Chains A and B, each alone.
Chain A
Amino acid sequence: MQRIAEAARGGEVPPAIAFSGISVAYPLKGGGRYVALGETDLVVADGEFTAIVGPTGCGKSTLLNVAAGLVPAASGGCTVFGRTLRGLNRDAGYLFQADSLMPWKTARDNVAVGLSVRGVATAEARDRAQAWLTRVGLASMGDRYPHQLSGGQKKRVALAQMLILEPKLLLMDEPFGPLDAQTRIVMGDLLLSLWSAERKAVLFVTHDLEEAIALADRVVVLSAGPQARIIADHRVGLARPRELAESRHDPEFTGLHRAIWGALKDEVMKAYGDAI
């Protein structure tokens, strides 16, 4: 908190999001509490693409939900562009892992609904939604319902639904997790091309280290839960614009992968050990 306050006084641009001493606990069924996230500090600068990797169940998503204001923190605080976060994060867009589209609305109406609830006229909201559907490569799919779309197409709609509102901070919770390997690469490239136009701050949670390095400017590693904490923080120096399929062969990529995997491996084994 202090550091942020100092930064603000110094006239610097406030970070997109800053967690200080955040911890999250869930009540357990038999009584007691499960502390998913230990006290964590993390500062993400505006325009920075930060990936968070960690073993299954380490509280990555929890951190993201705190940033979105969907889950209250047990302790600590969170500032968004210098302002303390209370309630839902109105500056943030959220891309979920599970299906998040309203199944009773067409693709176009799903994209347009965020504008509609902000008071944009229906005709204009639809036009802008159609433009966004075109940008994500679904120009002719506007009248389809979610169940008539493939997994990858649904993610494209969800991406358009989020980006049409021009959020200043993008929160993504393993968004491409349910997709097959080829679709993930295509979606990653699409995400990067859309992101590079505006360069919004991104907090991207994934368990896929390759995806994290290929997409992000910075990779943060969380330890296995309970009481997950940050155990490594690496900068990714790969040049932009990137192509996911190409980046993987870059020596910088392989070097980073080896270094981060060294830290991540022990945690993954720990998580597995608990599971067994």
Chain B
Amino acid sequence: MPSERARILFWQIAVAVICLLAWHVLTATKILDPFFFATPLGVIERTWKDFASGVIWRHLGVTLLETVLAFAIGSLGGTALGFWFARRAMAAAVFDPYIKAANALPRVVLAPIFALWFGLGIWSKVALGVTLVFFIVFFNVYQGVREVSPTVLANARMLGMNDRQLLRHVYMPSALSWVFSSLHTSVGFALVGAVVGEYLGATAGLGYRIAQAEGVFDVVGVFSGMLVLSAFVVAIDAFVSVIERRLLVWRPDSAAAASAQG
């Protein structure tokens, strides 16, 4: 097993090295114009400078805050509404077309409206992230509550649970397992919401940095921003994996999934 893991890691690094090398050779030989495509060394140098001077930390912090808030608010709202709809068939039936219509709406068109409503600060970005996270969590909770095994439910009732206790011991864990299994997606979308919001109009954040660089044809700055953003996503995703492994320890497939990702 460790040898296989080492081999995967080797090839993962090899892919990055080959791509960077190709990029370097193509721009160094002027087949690709460095003005439009930047150079890998230039991007790395710029990123290093940003971190060394410390200007990037504030922007990273803002994006992280927006992501966390969007995730938290979207998850809470999605969980609450998912529970309500799953237990009230009438409400679910009435709101079904509206939920579908709202979910089908491209969120980018909402960004200017949120900027008008909530200003250029973090809250318009949080709102955009919430509209993305909410639906993922909502659909998963709805599914999770409805797909509780009827035998487990009947057994819990025979063990003497009242409605409140069923919610705590049966519905909630079942629904949360669905939420956790979509954690990667929903955290990713919270970040997408934040960055897109910043890109379209903000005063700070990674998306703002990229938009600023684009505005002055600073291609190196754009690529540097994307590099930081990618590293940020990988770090958040690894963190989510750790949380997921701890929370879903009871799931038969979690051990296999965790080792495959690890």
Contacts and interface: CB of A to CB of B under 8 A. Distances in A.
Interface of A: 68, 70, 88, 90, 92-94, 96, 98-106, 113-114, 117-118, 145-147, 158, 161, 165
Interface in B149-173: 149, 151-152, 154-162, 165, 169-170, 173
Contact of A117 (B151, B152, B160): B160
B54 interface: no
B149 A113 contact: no
Nearest to A167: B158
B173 A102 contact: yes
B181 to A, nearest CB: 13
B202 to A, nearest CB: 41
A178 to B, nearest CB: 12
A90 B160 contact: yes
Interface stretch (B111-119, B211-219, B246-254): B246-254
Contact of B173 (A104, A114, A161): A104
A158 B155 CA distance: 9
Contacts of B149: 98-99
Nearest to A158: B155
A99 B151 contact: yes
Nearest to A89: B158
Q: Which 9 A-B pairs have the closest CB atoms?
A: A100-B155, A147-B252, A104-B173, A114-B159, A145-B250, A94-B158, A98-B151, A104-B250, A100-B151
Nearest to A148: B252
Given A104-B177, A113-B169, 11 more contacts: A70-B158, A88-B158, A96-B151, A96-B155, A102-B169, A103-B250, A104-B250, A117-B162, A117-B165, A146-B250, A158-B155
Nearest to B160: A117
Nearest to A145: B250
B170 A102 contact: yes
A117 B169 contact: yes
5 contacts: A98-B151, A102-B169, A102-B173, A113-B156, A147-B250
Interface of B: 149, 151-152, 154-162, 165, 169-170, 173-174, 177, 249-252
Contacts of A161: 155, 159
Most chain A CB within 10 A, of B149, B154, B156, B158, is at B158
A96 B252 CA distance: 21
A224 B152 CA distance: 28
B151 to A, nearest CB: 4
A90 B157 CA distance: 10
A88 B165 contact: no
B145 to A, nearest CB: 14
Nearest to A146: B250
A114 B162 CA distance: 11
Given A100-B154, A104-B173, A113 B159 contact: yes
A117 B250 contact: no
Contact of B158 (A93, A102, A103, A147): A93
Contacts of A145: 249-250
Given A147-B250, A147-B252, A102 B156 contact: yes
B141 to A, nearest CB: 15
Contacts of A113: 156, 159, 169
B65 to A, nearest CB: 31
B163 to A, nearest CB: 12
Contact of B154 (A92, A93, A96, A147): A96
Contacts of B250: 103-106, 145-147
Nearest to A118: B160
Contacts of A70: 154, 157-158
Contacts of B174: 104
Contact of B152 (A88, A100, A106): A100
A98 B162 CA distance: 22
A126 B81 CA distance: 34
A94 B173 contact: no
B257 to A, nearest CB: 13
Contact of B159 (A103, A106, A165): A165
Contacts of B156: 102, 113
Contact of B160 (A106, A147, A165): A165
A113 B166 CA distance: 11
A49 B165 CA distance: 32
B161 A94 contact: no
B170 to A, nearest CB: 7
Contacts of B159: 113-114, 117, 161, 165
Most chain B CB within 10 A, of A94, A99, A102, is at A102
